[in-house]
Amino acid sequence: MNKKYTYVWVSLIVLIFGIIVVPRIVERLSSGSVVENDRLNVSGEKSSDKLGYILLDGKRRKVPAFEFINQDSVVVSDEDYLGKVYVVDFFFTRCPSICPVMTTNLVDVQKYFKEADDFAIASFSITPEFDTPQVLRNYKEKYQIQDKNWNLMTGDHDDIYELANAGFNIFAAEMPDVPGGFEHSGLFALVDKEGYLRSRIDDFGNPIVYYRGAILEEKGVNDHGETEEIGILKIDIQKLLEE
């Protein structure tokens, strides 16, 4: 082939790579949505077979320190969860929409891992002014929460919102115009025994980061066509328990 045309083709390939691939890499790096499996998975094994570490600024993202009061007026901190695999959610007892579904799903997960002493759940109320320990105890009884490692927590308003929005990047905000007066995502975060945020990797090497908690497993798909993720959450909890 004529060298002139060879150079043209090479230049064209480089240009296409720069237009399509590089921006995607930059976007993932800038958003922090890169997992360690992206760098370490060189064995030919599918990246989705293992859970990745969520990275932020090149470092494994860890649950920030927290300390709140649970339904029994006992102080609970992040250190109490070390050595346990646990699921995190943000809710409020008067929630008229997604919280009942989220709690129902977590009760199902609780039953599924009832024999696992190293599994736990951490639920944080985004209306701590109303959700006192007594209110949380009533909520616990209503949903037949039995796991001793499941804490329903309340405390300082600003600290809880800081933990939700900055610590976990799980949206929570006061919005008077929505049902219940508060808006929050129905997402669950998964944490390993060392306190690191973990996630399964999709077929494209990207972390799903969080798990949809507001769709019943038995329902399968919601009205928006989104698939439930409680089934895969159970699988991924088991993977972490076996690490």
Annotated binding site: 95, 99, 184
Q: In 3D, which of 186, 168, 169 has the Cα closest to residue 224? A: 186
Which H, E and C letters describe 63-87, residue by residue?
CCCCEEECCCCCEEEHHHHCCCEEE
Q: Are strands 119-125 and 150-153 parallel, antiparallel or unpaired?
A: parallel
State which H helix or E strand residue 53 sits in. Answer: strand 51-56
Query: Please, are residues 106 and 213 in contact by the beta-carbon 8 Å criterion?
Result: yes
State whether residue 182 is helix, strand or coil: strand
Alpha-helical segments (H) within the chain? 3-31, 37-40, 99-112, 133-142, 157-162, 230-241
Q: Is 225 left (phi over 0), alpha (psi -120 to 50) or beta?
A: left
Q: What is the DSSP letter of 181?
A: G
Which residues are known binding-site members for Cu cation? 95, 99, 184
